[in-house]
Amino acid sequence: MSTHSNIKIGIIQFPGSNTERETFMACTRAGMEPVEFLWNNDPVELSELDGYIIVGGFSYEDRSRAGVIAALDPIMKQISIESEKNKPVLGICNGAQILVESGLVPGFKNNQIGIALTDNKRVKDGQVVGVGYYNTWANLKVNADPNRCAFTRSLEKDQIIKIPLAHGEGRFTMPESLLDNLIVNDQAVYLYCDNDGNTPNEFPINPNGSLYNLAAVCNNRGNIMAMMPHPERTENGDQIFSSMKEFIQMGNPITDHDLAHNQESYRLKSYSADESCTEWLVNMIITDNEAISVQNALIQLGYDVVLTRQTHWEIETAGEKENILEKIEASGELYNSNKEFIGERETSDGTVSILVHQKEDMHGRLKQESLTDRFQIDGLVKIKRGVVWNLSAKRGNIDTIINEILETNILFNPLSHECYRIN
């Protein structure tokens, strides 16, 4: 057991992290010693530390989607190992996204993915009033038994704290059956609420449309928590860090709960667009750093593949189609002709193309609203955005490799995306 004077907390940083200074200060105020730990440090050195905080920011520039590339880094495997020793792990904002994408939260066996953090959706009176990035101050209510989680022990049940948030993909989503399980297990740790502790599920009380007003969720053992708001940015959040210290001082006590939820295997479907729609496949003229990052992550996992990426637009119109499409193209909203162009579908032998759609297409919604309201383009019925990943293998059977790659979830999260094979 560590004593007050030598509690060492690893401040985990990936390329793009940006809140390490605030996190250092919060740990120091709580009487713990923050230790800088970069993604390329020797993961074995993590064993020398008492706990870990994965800071916020934009790891790997949120390529593919927020948190997923960092989740596959070797350092996260070691953090998983250390967490099995009941050491506390706190992920804040992008750190929360990394924990969710790594499967450490909610705590299924073998780190299966059970939750998604997806695009913000601000809903009021049943209407979507805003999407995308949002920053504000939010009230959070302790929704669990304070002794249940490593990050609530200094607080009381139903206590309210006011802390800032700033994110674009902070909306918790999951199957309703899993949510029911989390509520029963006291894993729904913090909820967005009003000044009186009420939890109406609408904006502005719920700033991102999270299911059940979820602001933070812990794993089944209570020692790992994914939290979207930023407690490190205000002294109002200091009790979360003092709770972490108390948890360590008490010998890392846990209350383990079984997650009785059966996660269905994802079945890849085939896809073809509606005949009434126009399809645009947009290629990069310049180097596609997003595709390179995902390809490098796959190579690091042992897959010797070549990967390219295309943005997929489906445009449904009513009226003079060609005239409408010309106006859309001229607007520059769907692609930038200085660095992108409309290309063709990949048809090479040995290449498999995977189309990924958001289940709730916030990007398509934003573009349609912009083209209609800002550019005054009439006749737009629907715009849908997707991403096409084209993969070929340098060796081995591509169909076998594709099935294995899909299991990594790097190309999509089955809780927030639909995935299709298109060749």
**What is the pLDDT, as a whole number, of residue 4?**
46
Write out the chain's pLDDT in tens, 423 residues: 444 458 999 999 999 999 999 999 999 999 999 999 999 999 999 999 999 999 999 999 999 999 999 999 999 999 999 999 999 999 999 999 999 999 999 999 888 899 999 999 999 999 999 999 999 999 999 999 999 999 999 999 999 999 999 999 999 999 999 999 999 999 999 999 999 999 999 999 999 999 999 999 999 999 999 999 999 999 999 999 999 999 999 999 999 898 877 777 777 888 888 888 999 999 999 999 999 999 999 999 999 999 999 999 999 999 899 999 999 999 999 999 999 999 999 888 889 999 999 999 999 999 999 999 999 999 999 999 999 999 999 888 888 899 899 989 999 999 999 999 987
3-state secondary structure of 385: strand
**What is the pLDDT, as a whole number, of residue 3?**
43
What is the token pair recorded at 276? 């009434």
Active-site pick, 169, 193, 218, 230: 230
3-state secondary structure 114-163: CCEEECCEEEECCEEEEECCEEEEEEEEECCCCCCCCCCCCCCCCCEEEE
**What is the pLDDT, as a whole number, of residue 394?**
87
Q: What is the DSSP letter of 353?
A: E
**Domain coordinates of the chain in residue numbers?**
4-249, 269-421
Provide Rg for the chain, Cα atoms. Answer: 22
- Comparing CA positions, the residue from 365, 374, 388 lying closest to residue 330 is 374
Active-site pick, 27, 93, 149, 419: 93
| CATH 3.40.50.2300 matches 4-249 | no
- Burial of 168-205, coded b for 16+ CB within 10 Å and e otherwise, reads bbbbbbbbeebbebbeebbbbbbbbbeeeeeeeeebeb
Active site residue 232: yes
Active-site pick, 232, 333, 340, 346: 232
Active site residue 93: yes
pTM for the complete prediction?
Answer: 0.94
Q: How far apart are CA 410 and CA 423, in angstroms?
A: 20
Active site residue 320: no
User: Which residue's entry shows tokens 């715009």?
Assistant: 383
Instruction: Determine how many CB atoms are found less than 10 A away from the CB of residue 283.
Output: 17
